[in-house]
Amino acid sequence: MTVAALDGITVLEISEVMQAPLAAQALADFGADVIKVERPGRGDAIRGQDRHATANGLVSSYFTALNRNKRCICLDLKHPAARGVLHRIVPRVDVLIHNFRPGVMERLALGYEELREIHPGLVYAAASGFGETGPLATMGGQDMVAQSLSGIAVHSGGPGGRPHLCPTPFVDYASGMSLAQGILLALMERQRSGQGQKVSISLLEVAMGMQTLEATSQLMYGVETNWVADWFPNAVFATADGWITVLGFYRDDVFTRICRVLEIDDSAGAAYPTPEAMAAGKQELNAILEPEFGKRPTADCIERLGSVDVLCAPALTLAEALEHTQVRHNETVLTVPVSQQPPARTIAHPVTLSRSPATVRHGVGRLGEHTRPVLRRFEFAADEIDRLAAAGVLGDAGDEVGS
């Protein structure tokens, strides 16, 4: 049996919602033992943000998406005894991940400088909204706020210059993956030095980093780059039965090719021989193409454009994309166990390793499901756990018997 890539790595996750939990799950998928600490009673806020699940007494689909392969424990971090518990656990873990606002972990006696004294090899990963220091350091962060502050919302704006927020929290996704990357870098460096270090990341920094090409054009030449508006035919066209996206910035003769397969007069293509000419005449070209795409089914348009190597794709709904033959072939959809209800389908980690792939070892746990067994693993005696439970440190989880 192949050993998982991160087998032997123990991660303590003290976080909620998306940015840091996604990073922890990425490590867990490849074999890390992730212990997720949640507050008693409510738990991770995302447990309650799925309105459909909450209304029907079901497990949150959002929590399910981000918390497989973890063991869930409850600790009231505002209770001094809970901090004592973590101070006993930390020396035996490799990584601590949190996404509290800067200063909160320090007030809980769980800051990096304090914990490195008891565990010099600790990789301490801190995710924030805007950075550890600076004028916005203590402000609450969220994906769409980062989209706004980073320029993405304005850059994506529609008619009239109204900013547009992407409804998918892609900055959170990218931030979680970047945080996992930083943790892995620190773990690799620790193999040489024997020392841990602090890994810091913010939504704002990731949002800026996702605009590297556009920002460099702005910084070097004061030129704003818009990959949709500046090039032709980077556009979405209505077809007879749906929509198609057509990309044409990668070769000079793309419009000529489109004219050929859509049976448009060749002279139209000859009038726009270069990407620059196509960009300058974008409105005229769209007026030529829109009725041609509009009278053909999407599948026919895809086949025609594909035959002359023009990049294109149907514009699908998410539900349609999940059933697409390529998505099925890639085994993108994953089934995971969910405590006290049927297994759920979610999205697998996008990275595939040929010898040590991601696996599902644990399902999605109930709030506090593993509190007692995890504490026993860290050599807390039964009477100690009982005292912690009686003091309210473990919340209702003190009475749970996990596995």
Output the CA angle 336-339-340, nearest 5 degrees. Answer: 125
Q: How far apart are CA 24 and CA 46, in angstroms?
A: 15
DSSP string of 29-67, one letter each residue: HTT-EEEEEE-TTT-SGGGG--HHHHHTT---HHHHHH-
pLDDT at position 232 is 61
Active site residues: 172
What is the enclosing helix (H) or strand (E) of 82?
helix 80-89
pLDDT at position 401 is 37
pLDDT at position 284 is 87
Residue with tokens 């991660």: 11
- 366 HSE (CA, 13 A, CB side): 15
pLDDT at position 327 is 98
For 12, counting Cβ atoms within 10 Å of its Cβ (0-12 exposed, 13-18 middle, 19+ buried), the class is buried
Q: What is the pLDDT along the chain (403 residues), one digit of tens a residue?
A: 689 999 999 999 999 999 999 999 999 999 999 999 999 999 999 999 999 999 999 999 999 999 999 999 999 999 999 999 999 999 999 999 999 999 999 999 999 999 999 999 999 999 999 999 999 999 999 999 999 999 999 999 876 789 999 999 999 999 999 999 999 999 999 999 999 999 999 999 999 999 999 999 999 999 998 887 776 666 899 999 999 999 876 677 888 889 999 999 877 777 877 777 887 888 888 889 999 999 999 999 999 999 999 999 999 999 999 999 999 999 999 999 998 899 999 999 999 999 999 999 999 999 999 999 999 999 999 999 999 999 999 987 544 433 2
Domains of the chain: 10-213+328-391 (3.40.50.10540), 236-316 (3.30.1540)
pTM exceeds 0.85 for this model? yes
